[in-house]
Amino acid sequence: MEPIVFRQWSNKKYAVLASFHKVIRIATLSLAYSLVQGQPVNAQSDTVSPKLFYDLEEVEAVGEQEAELYSPLLRQLLLIKQDQLELSSSQSIADILDFYPGIDIRTRGVNGIQSDINIQGGSFDQTLVLLNGIDMSNPQTGHFSLDLPVQPAMAHQLEILKGPGSKKYGLSAYTGAINLVTRPADSLGIRMEASYGTFNTWQTSSTLNFPVGNSRNMLAGSISGSDGYTSNTDYGNANLYFHSAASNDLVDTDLMLGWNRKAFGANAFYTPLFPEQYEETGSWLAALKFASKIPALKLDGHVYWKRHNDHFLLFRNNPSVYENYHQTDALGVAAGTKLSTGLGLTLIKAQYRHERIYSTTLGDPLEQPVAVKGSDDAFYSRHKGRDHLTLSTDHLFNIGKVYMSTGLLLHAGIDELAGPAIYPGVDVSYMFNDQFSIFASGNRSMRLPTFTDLYYEGPQNRGNPELLPETALTFETGLKYVTAGIRGDLALYYRKGKGTIDWIWTDSLWQTRNLTDLDTYGGETGVTFFPSRFLNSATLFDQLRISYSYTELNKSSDSLISNYALDNLKHKLILETRLLLPWNLYVHGKISRQERNGAFLYYETPSSTPVETAYEPYWLMDINAGIRLKRITVYVNMTNVLNTFYRDIGSVVMPGRWTIAGIKFR
């Protein structure tokens, strides 16, 4: 195969190289770089190329399989590309993730108003959420982890790491991590979308990409609302997001600014005793990433700040009975470097994060109350702050067909909840050939209790200031098979948790406690067919996918009524197909069956005695169909086609059949 030779470079990312399907020779560099053509990814990376283990001085060759979160060669890494995000026509990240095995989405409000993300049998507080690799987790509660100003239509890629990632990303990556990636386009362009549907549900959004000088910029916004599918389930949601990526001879920078506001009726969200609950949340974020381009100074890092406000009313029309105000801030800085030697690539990173809360109920009493902005008569009476300092190292190398990553996270223990500790991890894979590989990993992880876990006091809830951090040791193994027309994977995992934190029903109250050892084990498998590539001929079936995941816990819920940790999704079966019809028509359909462990407290009426009730298994069907023209797409999206009655969490009944029609322009 005749090589292509490039003699001059301008320090840019050349993603087009991935499409050449040829050997690339950079100047007189003797190392030949073989890049395979990137394909759309559903459940895994398209390639097992070890490109992440080489560090070139003057140019970074980036293929479509690039992932910021982790090397797809070594672990279960789910990549959802931009075209898949657009095809789904979903209005929330949580709705998209519900299409995949090993991920349990427990929803209270629809269309992203409030959803909990659970990975491999873990709880929503055990999943780390990142924006372009920056920690966006909420120290108040994981219920707000997805309160981000980025909608699916604004995203470039969604990356999901299944299994702990503490040695690379810190304490909150207990069972997994989700990274939402945005990337301004190189050229001027605009995307717009509007939709309307059942229950007077509407949404509109726009994204503008505009280069200015040596910077690429993206400005995006969206607003949406609905009357709700039943009493007190109405909502309003607004987002504004700006991302500017600039480059010069010395440094690459990414500036991100965002704002998000939600207001929603919270019918039975936290207890069915009070169906008139109401909540308003708002968040602001600012972050700056940098990466040095000076060969002698391979330094990168980021600084960030995120503020989140929460106003909760037990009675929507009578705030004076019971209401809470909370304001949390998370501020952080990180800096790292890369060392390339004959022994491989070593990554070293130090991180500092400060978390604090002002609240009417959470934290230690304040000597002097602080007025709540925007309220005439409300005051924060409690406050709590804590700090995290961590140092992480990760060494990547290969010996023949064996590729390995080994490292650790050192927690300095400057917070009184947790003393100094080390959390090591090792990931290894073996490539039999370009199509087939196996992997195995062992990682230790830890999570600190949230401020809600520690201090919350409500009509039916009691926090526990004596809680200790929870820790886990997780082992995972699996295999991957990738060709042009078929992709398959199988993964098995076992997690031994110590001091698992959960809310337990005791003495007519939900109270937090550290459970004894909680062992979690399970597995998942999936096969995706691309018939046109497999048969090397045109066909109506663009994609066929079947996947299944199973999770089990060693602690029965017979003696404990758990609100989160013991109510895992035991079985999840997904059948998905995508049809490309004549005249640019498409149909995307999904059928899923879910069966959950555990039970919830069912109230016949708000004043009746609760009865412990097991979760019922259910089938769901969703269909998205439309026509794609040159610049316009018209679609109809119908969820819960079968009009199934079901619950994801507690007594909150989810909506029946819901139809949305919309139009996209780009």
Please enumerate, as own/partner, the contacts of 384-387 that have beta carbons within 8 Å and a separation of 24 or more: 384/356, 384/357, 384/359, 384/451, 384/454, 384/455, 385/354, 385/355, 385/356, 385/357, 386/139, 386/354, 386/355, 386/356, 386/415, 386/416, 386/417, 386/448, 387/352, 387/353, 387/354, 387/355, 387/414, 387/415
| Predicted pLDDT at 557 | 45
Q: Which residues contact 627 (CB under 8 A, 6 or more apart)?
A: 583, 584, 585, 586, 633, 634, 635
Predicted TM-score (pTM) of this structure: 0.86
The DSSP H or E segment spanning 576 is strand 569-581
| Predicted pLDDT at 91 | 77
| Predicted pLDDT at 607 | 73
Mean pLDDT of 507-519: 80
Per-residue pLDDT reduced to its tens digit, 617-647: 999 999 999 999 989 999 999 999 999 999 9
Residue pair 233/109 in contact by the 8 Å Cβ criterion: yes
**Is the per-residue pLDDT at 382 higher than 50?**
yes
| Predicted pLDDT at 611 | 84
Per-residue pLDDT reduced to its tens digit, 48-57: 334 443 333 3
**Is the per-residue pLDDT at 487 higher than 80?**
yes
Per-residue pLDDT reduced to its tens digit, 208-249: 999 999 999 999 999 999 999 999 999 999 999 999 999 999
| Predicted pLDDT at 54 | 38
| Of 432 and 35, the one with more pLDDT | 432
Mean pLDDT of 467-485: 92
Query: Distances from the Cα of 447 to the Cαs of 125, 494, 621, in angstroms?
Result: 8, 18, 35
Mean pLDDT of 472-497: 94
Q: Could you give the CA distance from residue 352 to residue 338 in angstroms, rounded to a whole number? A: 19
Strand 4-6 relative to strand 201-212: parallel, antiparallel, unpaired? unpaired
